């Protein structure tokens, strides 16, 4: 029986969102179903008229599938339970949203998001008895119950490439180069890119550091005859005193700029900082992200077909599975401080500043 | 207690070999052990004097770790059991090889190779009672018992990038573009790159095809309003009649050139062929390959430390484990024709020509 | 006064065509002019109804400008003077084409093409007294009177990147790697990429070679202690006997496959071939190609504004100029065998096989 | 007659330095000459013993030639006329340096540097009657009398690639993305990358801007129906009041962070900043930089052969020439505000905030 699916992207964007949607639309089209896209997360349904559009396979030619970002737009500032009104007040518009979804005759909502978005969408689904399925995306890879979320692989590749470019110039000038990468609550990007990019020091929020220990490691590097070093730091890392970095405007990074003079002073090396920022989000997705995205998209439609709702598709043991969405958002997937990656890093001589 | 490890790379090269060795050498150095590298697979021990060299962390600065190929050299034509002698004859030199390893006072041999190399090395280890550990590498990803082998991720990325470049020119000229990729026994590269690269047809050895079915799919593409198509084909694919492609010199590929006129005739489209060849092997390793390589290298040294031999390190469920090497080479890991990837491909409208 | 411009892309596609059109449309829009795009070279005007469409800046968002190929489509097989009719005959449809342009009320035609296209378009312009301006594009860079044509820079970058990937695998296996690149009449791609990619032998149509001389160079490399070599060859290179390579189907390349066994026999090295094919045409344009393309597009509209027709925009001495189109197509810009590049190549030890 | 050449790299590093040296060494070797490399600019000659090493073609295998940075090391803080002594004082050590060069029996010094380095080296050469030749390198491309300096092409490609990644995420979130690039005195990187990367606003030191004008342009973009914008800014740009940006530590950038809140306030858009930093210097050189570098290196040795000293090799009109070094450093090559590039930028709708 023909169905109507609504899809939306929510929270911070990343590489691979269009590939998820491409797969959903192609799979649904093959089943004879219709798909509508809601613009700007759920916010498109809180406008008059609804900011929605019919999606067909022609909207996802190869060019769009290969592209970063989301053709639907997204937002991380329009929580329907605390919707920011033009007058500056905040309003619960969840009932309006539920009504809109029913109004449109939608049989299933597939939301592509991270833990924050899923918490909101799951609450909405429960409140409105909505048939909801989640597809996990986050460059931070901090969603539990899935080995991988869409966008992480590309972000790490971009960060690794930056380290590849920083090494020659570090070596030429006898400097310590500091690369500040994203990672709000978990250090997965810094950890993976740090190992792949051959750094000397990785700073992640899961492992407290001291400037002294960083300096000690860099001194060891110097003693071994190498006159430069690479440091990668997750933006979420706190100061040695355990506090978040205070900068004039936190959105523009800060921990790199905070560390640079301190490391310079403690080691005698010149230091330089690169703040990658959103280039980690917008790149063309790697093959892994494109494959993961499409496998997730197909599975999400399969779940609709099977009538299984309240589920998040997930990647476990190299296959797509599905898990209860409420389980998926219970906790943040942080770096295991005794796992394979940290052990690998330490074994090849990388310091965590601890 | 201090140990001496010998390492070698064997069989076709790929991205990430240097990263494996980098991790082995750094980990061993931290333990106070020595490492020697044997050149050109096992062949370095069948020369006078031995073609071996001491390896230290300084040999693996970041530049080498980031680089494709193997600084030790490799070969896939010098099987010690059937060694090609200068006079054209073939000789079993396995006893010489075993004697050389004992002569050098080596406590463990770590071989980085694929199934062919492991079969030889395992036979040697059994015959000579040698403490052997294997690290899996193959761009074909056809080793069983490990989800991933070193080199595969990079090969797929290179092939995907080629498809990204072929699409715009295919679209501009209303052509069918055929990309021939590596994959001697299994179609993993073609399958993964095909999904990621948004092709219309994937041809792999695991799924027999007919020209008629390929033409039918391309006609559907045309009927849908798109005037071009992308085809990816594994070099191992046979003709429709089930035979390997006969070309003047098989080393230079052939199945792409074999298919091109046939598809042109059957569809009316102009066709063009790209033969990627060894650019799939030599690129700078992706972050995944570098991380996998280093995790494997560290684990191999850990196994030596634990005195566990006859094992292959493996990647399962996002962690490094080890398996019996004789189990790992029992069978070739081919594409599961009803697995997640094939299902995903079919669900987004990709044909396998079947 | 408002004008109507028609634009078309003609001949083989390349990176940067969309960027040329983007600049034309944006510049014209700022002047209050209209632009129509003719599809598939001039062929779009020989259909009923005309295959034309209005182009506005919105058609050229950043994604399209960054993309290889041409959104208008192109062809190199529909010469209006010898138009291939459905019944297999050939017909002069030039008068129809001229009539169509006049019928559409077009004030200027800007054609983006190479020497072949310009010969046809210039003949048409003369015959029909049409206000024509040419923008040079060709990956071969063989148009005279302009230092650079759109598409060349990107093609060389792609070829250079392939060499970067071939070197490590060549070195690992002691092989000679042969990269076959495009270049129908001139060897500019092979020459530039060969120098940039650090090859040992460059074969271009402008300099006759012998297998003996190639083998001699490779022997020198071997004698110097390096056990591998890189060879780049332009598809246009002929056999040592001065004949074009005979292959079953010339479209699929051939000179690489022709040379490989000959070089193997003459040197004792294993050889492998990569045929890059159309990946040289379809990639995202480099910054140079995007800048050149937009500078050309702007200048073409400026020429319309100045009423200067029969001109080709050109790049000379780091500025955009314009030249008589009939002068531009008088001769093919081949490699100067005593110019800076050949001198540089020889000086760093590269052989041309001569 | 055999000669001894000394080479050094001086000032900020960039992509292509190794390729220059590779060509010098290969060319000199073919002439039977010796080459020594001086480490860390001229500073290697002010140590005991001299930090110098013999260079041979084997030091420049393909891997090194393809690599960013300089194997000799460089510095921009050890001016021999004002040498920083360990005790914090500053000393004129020019006579020592001249004596060292004579002591080593050097027939010619080839220095690879920018205007700052050349001013020092030329003064030294005059004072000591030294046979000096300069090879221009600077990512800023601000050396006069040469169209191109080594390193610029790669820096622009890296910046353009960052813009390619910023566009999709800007579009997904309705944001203004600000990319801060290098360029100490001239805006060439920002100008070229800005045009190639399709930005809306380019800020360079040569053209004063106001926040109001930037906001006006972004409002126009919004009015045209596009809900995001890209801004590229040269680090050298001053505040609207004409002052250099005051940040806690100027080395870590600043103008991006200065502009972001101001643009946000003036436009109502969210803004985000990326500070590329040294990733612009260290990447693998593009084919253009590698070709330019090798052509320069060869020409420098040719000049030694011809006995022409006091010259800088230069790129003019697509050929290598040489100019008097004192002329080359007379003035800084800034952006021509009425040249082809600025005209192109304005014509495609890019604002300079003026």
Over residues D51-78, the pLDDT tens digits come to 999 999 999 988 899 999 999 999 888 9
Structure tokens at B80: 């010690």
Neighbours of chain B (3+ CB pairs under 8 A): A, C, D
Mean pLDDT value of segment D128-135: 97
CB B308 within 8 A of CB B322: yes
Which residues of A are catalytically annotated? 140
Cα separation, A201 vs A352, whole angstroms: 6
Interface test with C, best of A18, A60, A62, A63 (most C CBs within 10 A): A63
Structure tokens at B244: 């390997």
Q: What is the pLDDT of residue A252?
A: 40
Would you call A67 and D275 a contact, using CB atoms and an 8 Å cutoff?
Answer: no
Torsion angle in degrees (nearest 10) through CA of A258, A264, A267, A272: 90
Q: How confident is the model at residue D248 (pLDDT cuts 50, 70, 90)?
A: very low
Tell me the fold of A154-280+337-347.
Rossmann fold (3.40.50)
DSSP state of B82: G
Q: What is the pLDDT of residue D257?
A: 84
Which residues of D are catalytically annotated? 140
3-state secondary structure of A25: helix
Q: What is the pLDDT of residue A250?
A: 37
CB atoms within 10 A of CB D343: 17
Residue-averaged pLDDT of chain A: 93
Mean pLDDT value of segment A160-184: 94
Mean pLDDT value of segment D19-27: 98
Cα separation, B18 vs B40, whole angstroms: 14
Mean pLDDT value of segment D240-265: 68
Q: What is the pLDDT of residue C243?
A: 60
Q: How confident is the model at residue B62 (pLDDT cuts 50, 70, 90)?
A: confident
Would you call D282 and A174 a contact, using CB atoms and an 8 Å cutoff?
Answer: no
| CB contact burial C27-37 (16+ within 10 A = b; e otherwise) | bbbebebbbbb
C-alpha gyration radius of chain A: 22
Cα separation, D291 vs A18, whole angstroms: 38
Q: What is the pLDDT of residue C240?
A: 58
Enumerate residues 122 to 161 of chain A having a beta carbon within 8 A of any beta carbon in chain D: 158
Cα separation, A233 vs A219, whole angstroms: 19
Per-residue pLDDT tens over the stretch A192-250: 999 999 999 999 999 999 999 999 999 999 999 999 999 999 988 876 556 655 444 43
Enumerate residues 270 to 299 of chain C having a beta carbon within 8 A of any beta carbon in chain D: 284, 286-288, 290-291, 294-295, 297-298
Q: Which residues of B touch A225 (CB under 8 A)?
A: 58
Is the per-residue pLDDT at D251 higher than 90? Answer: no
Query: Where are chain C's structural domains?
Result: 4-151+285-316, 153-281+337-347
Is the per-residue pLDDT at A8 higher than 90? Answer: yes
Cα separation, D264 vs A23, whole angstroms: 36
Cα separation, D178 vs D160, whole angstroms: 13
Structure tokens at D111: 């220095």
Q: Does C26 reach chain D within 8 Å, measured CB to CB?
A: yes
Q: Does D220 reach chain C within 8 Å, measured CB to CB?
A: no
Q: How confident is the model at residue B241 (pLDDT cuts 50, 70, 90)?
A: low
Count CA within 13 A, CB hemisphere, residue C322. 24
Q: At what angle do helices B152-173 and A287-306 cross, to 10 degrees?
A: 80
Per-residue pLDDT tens over the stretch A271-289: 999 999 999 999 999 999 9
Query: Which of these ranges, A107-121, A241-255, C70-84, has the smallest mean pLDDT?
Result: A241-255
For tokens 């344009």, name the residue.
Answer: C285
Cα separation, A19 vs A150, whole angstroms: 10
Q: Does D168 reach chain A within 8 Å, measured CB to CB?
A: yes
Mean pLDDT value of segment A296-314: 98
- Strand (E) or helix (H) holding D8: strand D4-9
Per-residue pLDDT tens over the stretch C225-242: 999 999 999 988 876 556
CB D350 within 8 A of CB D201: yes
* D73, D173, D257 member nearest A13 (Cβ): D173
Residue-averaged pLDDT of chain C: 93
| CB contact burial C114-138 (16+ within 10 A = b; e otherwise) | bbbbbbbbbebbeebebbbbbbbbb
CATH code: domain D4-151+285-316 is 3.40.50.450
Q: Does C227 reach chain D within 8 Å, measured CB to CB?
A: no
Phi, psi of C91 (to 5 degrees): -135, 145
Cα separation, B2 vs B40, whole angstroms: 26
Q: What is the pLDDT of residue A257?
A: 84
CB C288 within 8 A of CB D153: yes
Q: Which residues of A touch D248 (CB under 8 A)?
A: 257
Cα separation, A34 vs B200, whole angstroms: 22
Q: Describe chain C by its helix, strand, coil percentages, rounded to 5.
A: 45, 20, 40
Cα separation, A34 vs B335, whole angstroms: 32
Q: Which residues of D touch A174 (CB under 8 A)?
A: 40, 73, 75
Q: Does D230 reach chain C within 8 Å, measured CB to CB?
A: yes
Question: What is D289-351 written as a DSSP string?
Answer: HHHHHHHHHHHHHHHHHHT--SEEEEEETTEEEEEEHHHHTTSB-PPPTTSHHHHHHHHTT-B
Would you call D66 and C319 a contact, using CB atoms and an 8 Å cutoff?
Answer: no
Q: What is the pLDDT of residue B249?
A: 40
Mean pLDDT value of segment B107-111: 97
Residue-averaged pLDDT of chain B: 93
Is the per-residue pLDDT at D148 higher than 50? Answer: yes
Torsion angle in degrees (nearest 10) through CA of C326, C327, C333, C336: 170
DSSP state of C178: E
Cα separation, B245 vs B260, whole angstroms: 13
Is the per-residue pLDDT at B245 higher than 90? Answer: no
User: How many residues in total does chain D contain?
Assistant: 354
Phi, psi of A275 (to 5 degrees): -110, 105
Q: How confident is the model at residue B185 (pLDDT cuts 50, 70, 90)?
A: confident
Neighbours of chain A (3+ CB pairs under 8 A): B, C, D
Question: What is A165-223 written as a DSSP string?
Answer: HHHHHHHHHTEEEEEEE--SS--HHHHHHHHHTT-SEEE-TTS---HHHHHHHHHHHHH
Mean pLDDT value of segment C167-192: 94
Q: Kindly identify which residue of chain D lies nearest to residue C341, measuring between CA atoms.
A: D295
CATH superfamily of D153-281+337-347: Phosphofructokinase domain (3.40.50.460)
Name the residue among B286, B287, B311, B316 with its Cα closest to residue B301. Answer: B311
CB C44 within 8 A of CB C6: no
Report which of residues C302 and D60 the model is more confident about: C302
Q: What is the pLDDT of residue B168?
A: 94
- Strand (E) or helix (H) holding C113: strand C108-113
Percent of chain C with pLDDT over 90: 87
Same fold, C4-151+285-316 and C153-281+337-347: yes
Question: What is A213-277 written as a DSSP string?
Answer: HHHHHHHHHHHTT---EEEEEETT---TTS-----SSGGG--HHHHHHHHHHHHH--EEEEEE-T
Cα separation, D52 vs D103, whole angstroms: 13
Q: Does B198 reach chain A within 8 Å, measured CB to CB?
A: yes
Is the per-residue pLDDT at B250 higher than 70? Answer: no
Per-residue pLDDT tens over the stretch A73-85: 998 889 999 999 9
B253–chain C nearest CA distance, Å: 9
Q: Does D226 reach chain A within 8 Å, measured CB to CB?
A: no
Cα separation, A180 vs D278, whole angstroms: 13
Strands B34-38 and B52-55: antiparallel
Q: What is the pLDDT of residue D244?
A: 58
Q: Tell me the CA distances in angstroms from B140 to B150, B153, B182, C168, one per residue in order.
A: 10, 10, 7, 18
Mean pLDDT value of segment B293-308: 98
Interface test with D, best of C24, C27, C168, C291 (most D CBs within 10 A): C291
Q: What is the pLDDT of residue A336?
A: 95
Mean pLDDT value of segment D240-263: 65
Mean pLDDT value of segment B42-47: 95
Q: Tell me the CA distances in angstroms from D1 to C217, D29, D31, D32, D34, one per residue in order.
A: 26, 13, 9, 8, 11
Would you call C274 and B272 a contact, using CB atoms and an 8 Å cutoff?
Answer: no
Would you call A287 and B225 a contact, using CB atoms and an 8 Å cutoff?
Answer: no
Is the per-residue pLDDT at C251 higher than 50? Answer: no
Q: Kindly identify which residue of chain B lies nearest to residue A19, measuring between CA atoms.
A: B196
Would you call A198 and B344 a contact, using CB atoms and an 8 Å cutoff?
Answer: no
Q: What is the pLDDT of residue C250?
A: 37
Say what the ipTM of the complex is: 0.95
Interface test with B, best of D18, D59, D63, D65 (most B CBs within 10 A): D63
């Amino acid at each position: 029986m023909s169905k109507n699916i609504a899809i939306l992207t929510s929270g911070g964007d990343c590489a691979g969102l269009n590939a998820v949607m491409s797969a959903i639309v192609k799979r649904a089209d093959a089943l004879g179903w219709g798909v509508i896209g809601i613009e700007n997360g759920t916010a498109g349904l809180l406008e008059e008229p609804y900011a929605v559009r019919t999606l067909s396979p022609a909207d996802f030619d190869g060019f769009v599938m290969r592209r970063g970002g989301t053709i639907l737009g997204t937002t991380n500032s329009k929580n329907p339970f605390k919707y920011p009104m033009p007058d500056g007040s905040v309003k619960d518009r969840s009932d309006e949203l539920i009504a809109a979804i029913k109004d449109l005759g939608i049989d299933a909502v597939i939301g592509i998001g991270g833990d924050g978005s899923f918490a909101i969408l799951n609450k909405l689904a429960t409140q409105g008895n909505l048939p909801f399925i989640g597809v996990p995306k986050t460059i931070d890879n901090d969603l539990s119950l899935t080995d991988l979320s869409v966008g992480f692989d590309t972000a790490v590749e971009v960060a690794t490439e930056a380290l590849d470019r920083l090494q020659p110039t570090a070596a030429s000038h006898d400097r310590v180069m500091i690369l500040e990468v994203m990672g709000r609550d978990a250090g997965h990007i810094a950890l993976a890119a740090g190992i792949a990019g051959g750094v000397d020091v990785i700073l992640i929020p899961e492992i407290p550091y001291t400037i002294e220990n960083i300096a000690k490691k860099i001194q060891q590097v110097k003693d071994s005859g190498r006159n430069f070093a690479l440091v990668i730091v997750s933006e979420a890392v706190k100061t040695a005193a355990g506090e978040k970095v205070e900068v004039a405007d936190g959105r523009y990074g800060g921990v790199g700029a905070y560390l640079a003079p301190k490391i310079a002073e403690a080691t005698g090396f010149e230091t330089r900082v690169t703040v990658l920022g959103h280039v980690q989000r917008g790149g063309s997705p790697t093959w892994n992200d494109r494959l993961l995205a499409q496998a997730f998209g197909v599975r999400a439609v399969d779940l609709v077909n099977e009538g299984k709702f309240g589920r998040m598709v997930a990647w476990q043991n190299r296959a797509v599975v599905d898990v209860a969405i409420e389980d998926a958002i219970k906790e943040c997937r942080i770096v295991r401080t005794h796992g394979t990656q940290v052990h690998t890093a330490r074994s090849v001589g990388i310091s965590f500043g601890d």
